[in-house]
Amino acid sequence: MIAETGHYALILALGVAIVQMLVPLIGTHYRDPKLTAVAVPAAQAEFILIGIAFIALMTAYVTSDFSVANVWQNSHSAKPLLYKISGVWGNHEGSMVLWVLILALFGAAVATFGNNLPRQLQANVLAVQSSIAVAFLLFIIITSNPFMRLDPAPFDGEGLNPVLQDPALAFHPPFLYAGYVGFSMAFSFAVAALIDGRIDAAWARWVRPWTLAAWMCLTIGIAMGSWWAYYELGWGGFWFWDPVENASFMPWLAGTALLHSALVMEKRDALKVWTILLAIITFSLSLMGTFLVRSGVLTSVHAFAVDPARGVFILAIMGVFIGGAFALFAWRAPLLSQGGLFAPISREGSLVLNNLLLTVACAAVLVGTLYPLALEAITGEKISVGAPFFNLTFVPLIVPLLIAMPFGPLLAWKRGDLLAAAQRLMTAAIAALAVMILVLAVNQHGPWLAPLGIGLGIWLIMGAPTEIAYRVKLFDVSGSESWRRARNLPRATFGGALAHAGVGVMVIGLVSTTAWRSERIELLAPGESLDIAGYDLAFAGVAPRQGPNYSERVAKFVVTRGGEPVTELTPSKRAFAVEKSATTEAGIHNSWRGDLYVVLGDQLKDGAYSVRVYFNPMVRLIWIGALIMFFGGGLSLSDRRLRVGAPKRARSKMAAAAAVE
C-alpha cells in the first residue's frame, strides 16, 4: 500500500506539473491574475507529491520490500541501514526520482520564498521549471518506473554495487544533483525573461541566490565525488578527466561564469543578453551531463543504464529544451534592451575576462569529452582523451585567469586603475615570490614548473586579505576605523574573498600532489618492508575478517618514521558474496605533509603480495580548498544586502567600451 501510494503520488505529480506548466502561462498571456496564481500552490503540491513518492520508495528500501522490483535489483536484506537508504539513489530509477524531487524543491522554494518577485515573472519561471519536471516525470513513469512490482516477490535482493557502499557516495549524488538541477532555476528565469521580452538589473538580483545555491551544491558535490574516487577506487588519484567527471565540471565552469556575469548585470545593468545565454548554456550542460551519465553512452565506471530506449528519451528531452531555449533566444534576444557602458580596465572588464576564459576553458573540456564519443559514433574507432589533452588545453586557459583573479575585486566599477591595483597587490606578489624561491631552494631537482604553481596559489590566497585590507583602508586610517569598516563590509565581499582564497588553497594542493607525488609498486612478503617519502612500512601480514555483508582480507602495515611509530595502516580487499564482486579499501594515513596511501594487491604464488604505496603531498588541500569555496558561497548567500555599482567620476571620459553583448 505504501509503494502503491508512492506510485500514485508520482503520477499525480505529473498531472500537477502539467497544470503548473500550462495554466500560469495562459494566465500571463491573457493577463489573468487568477490563472497565474495557480503556479504557487501547484509548485508546492508538486514538491509534496514527489516527496511522498520518494519517501514511499525509501520505505520500501528500508523494510526490504522485494515486491518492488527496484528494491529487489538494488538492495539486499543483509545491507547496513545507511546503504539501504543510499541505495534509493544509488541506481538509475531512484536517482531520477531524486532528480525531480530536487527540481520540485527548487520550484517550491521559488513559490514559497519568491514574494519579492513580480507575480508574472514568478508564474513564468514556475511554468518553465515545471515543463522540465513534466519531461522527466514522463521519462521516469514510462521508461524508468521505480514502483514496478514483482509477484511473487523474490526472497532477497540482488544487492547494491559494493563500490557504491560508501558514506561519501551516499551523499555525493544528492549534492551533485542539487547543483545540476539548481541551475534549472537560472534557466527558468532566463527563459521566462525571454518569453516576457524584458530583462533588467532587478532580474539579476532575483536569479542570483538560486544560482549561488546551485553553485555551492555543485562545488561540494564534485569535491565529494573526487574524494570518493581518491580513497575508494584505489588508484591514488583524485581526478581522472573521466567523461562523467567532466560532465559535472562543465556546468560548474559555466555556472561560475554565470555567477560573475550576473554580478555585472545586477550592478551595472550590462552583459544582459550574455548572462541570459550563459544561464541557458549552464543548464544545457547540466542536461548533457545527465544524458551522458544516464544513457550509458559512456563506457566508464559510471555508466549505468544500458537500455537504449532511455538514452533516446533523454536525448529527446535534451533536444527539446536546449534547442527550444536557443531558438527562443535567437528570436527574442534582439528585442532585449542593451546595457550600460564601461572601460576595458574596470571591474566589469575583469569579469568579462573571467567569463571569456571560463567559457573557453569549458569549451575545451566539452571538446575533450565529446570528441571521442563523436569519433566512435562515426568511425567506430575508440580513443581516449585523457590528462595530456586537458593539460595542454585547459591548464593554459585557466592559469591566466588565476593570475588575473586577485586584480578583479580591486578594480573599481566602470573605470578602474590597474596600476593602483597592482601596487596594492605588491605584498601578495612579494609573498608569492618568496615562497616560490623557498620552494625552489628546497627542491633543486625540479619539476621546474611546480614552484611557479605554488607561488600562484600563495598569490591567490594573499589576494583575498589584500582586497579586504583595501576595503577597510587598513593602515590608511586608524585601527578602530578599519575595524568599524570591516564590520560594515557586506558579507558578500568576505564570501567572494574567501572563495577566491579557496581556489588558491586548491591550486597548492593540486600542484604539490601532481609534482611531488611518490609512488612505489612492490612485491612484498609478510615480514618485509619498504620505505617511501621518509616513512618505513613493515608488512606484518594478511588476515581474514568478516564484515556485515562481505568478507575481507586485511593487510597490516606498521608505519614508522625515523624509528618513531607513526600509525598502522590496514588496507583490505573486500569480497561481496551476493554481488560476486570485490572492492579495494585503501589504507590512508594523513598528516600535514600529505597522505600515505597503501593499496593491497593480489597474492602471488610464493605468498608475496603486490603492494602499491603512494605519498601524495598536501593532497587534502584540494578538498579543503573546495570546502572553503563552499563556505565562501554560503557567506555570500547569507548577505541580503544589495550591491549597487559605485562608479568613480569620469563619466565624461568614458573610453567607450560597449557592453559585450
Partner 1 sequence: MLLWVILAALTAIVLFFLLRPLAGGGGSEPAREAFNAAVYRDQLEEIDSDRARGLIGEAEAESARLEVARRLLATDAKRRKAKARTRAAGPARAALIAVALALPLAALGLYLFYGSPRLPDQPLAARLQDPASEQNIAVLVARVEARLRAHPEEGEGWDAIAPVYLSARRYADAAEAYAQSIRLLGATANRLSGYGQALVLEKGGLVTEEARTALERAVALDESLVEPRILIAIAKEQDGDYAAAIDGWRALLEKKGADEAWQAMVQKRIANAEAHLSGKAPAAAEGAPQGGMAGPSAADIAAAQNMSPADRQAMVETMVQKLATKLEQNSDDLAGWLRLVRAYTVLDRKDDARQRSPAPRPSLPATRTRRSNSTRWPQNLD
Between CA 195 and CA 189 the distance in angstroms is 10
**Sign of the torsion formed by the C-alpha atoms of 616, 164, 246 and 660:** negative
- DSSP calls for 24-36: HHHHHHHT-HHHH
CB of 65: closest distance to partner 1 in angstroms? Answer: 5
Q: Which of residues 155-174 bind partner 1 (CB under 8 A)?
A: 155-156, 160-161, 163-164, 169, 172-173
Whether 619 and 586 have beta carbons less than 8 Å apart is answered as no
How many chain residues touch partner 1 (CB under 8 A)?
A: 108
58 is a site residue for partner 1 (CB under 8 A): no
560 is a site residue for partner 1 (CB under 8 A): no
Specify whether the backbone of 416 is left (phi greater than 0), alpha (psi in -120 to 50) or beta.
beta
153 is a site residue for partner 1 (CB under 8 A): yes
73 is a site residue for partner 1 (CB under 8 A): yes
Which residue from 85, 5, 16, 90 is spatially nearest to 52, judged by alpha carbons?
5
Q: Segment near partner 1 (CB under 8 A), from 16-24, 325-333, 397-405, 652-660?
A: 16-24
657 is a site residue for partner 1 (CB under 8 A): no
Which residue from 533, 654, 504 is spatially nearest to 598, judged by alpha carbons?
533
Residue 350: exposure state from Cβ atoms within 10 A (0-12, 13-18, ≥19): buried
Q: Which is nearer to partner 1, 593 or 643 (CB)?
A: 643
Q: Which of residues 411-450 bind partner 1 (CB under 8 A)?
A: 412
Q: Which of 82, 577, 604, 655 binds partner 1 (CB under 8 A)?
A: 577
Q: Which of residues 75-94 bind partner 1 (CB under 8 A)?
A: 77-78, 90-92
CB of 36: closest distance to partner 1 in angstroms? Answer: 7
Q: Which is nearer to partner 1, 3 or 351 (CB)?
A: 3
Q: Segment near partner 1 (CB under 8 A), from 38-46, 187-195, 376-384, 562-570?
A: 38-46
Q: Which of residues 274-293 bind partner 1 (CB under 8 A)?
A: 293
147 is a site residue for partner 1 (CB under 8 A): yes
Collapse the DSSP code of 555 into the 3-class scheme (helix H, G, I; strand E, B; otherwise coil) and give the result.
strand
Q: Which of 63, 338, 423, 603 binds partner 1 (CB under 8 A)?
A: 63
Cα atoms found within 13 Å of the Cα of residue 161, Cβ hemisphere only: 14
Whether 302 and 242 have beta carbons less than 8 Å apart is answered as yes
Between CA 287 and CA 294 the distance in angstroms is 10
CB of 482: closest distance to partner 1 in angstroms? Answer: 11
CB of 247: closest distance to partner 1 in angstroms? Answer: 10
CB of 240: closest distance to partner 1 in angstroms? Answer: 12
Which residue from 110, 68, 112 is spatially nearest to 93, judged by alpha carbons?
68
645 is a site residue for partner 1 (CB under 8 A): yes
Collapse the DSSP code of 576 into the 3-class scheme (helix H, G, I; strand E, B; otherwise coil) and give the result.
strand
CB of 503: closest distance to partner 1 in angstroms? Answer: 25
- DSSP calls for 318-329: HIIIIIHHHHHH
567 is a site residue for partner 1 (CB under 8 A): no
Indicate the residue type of 615: F
19 is a site residue for partner 1 (CB under 8 A): yes
312 is a site residue for partner 1 (CB under 8 A): no
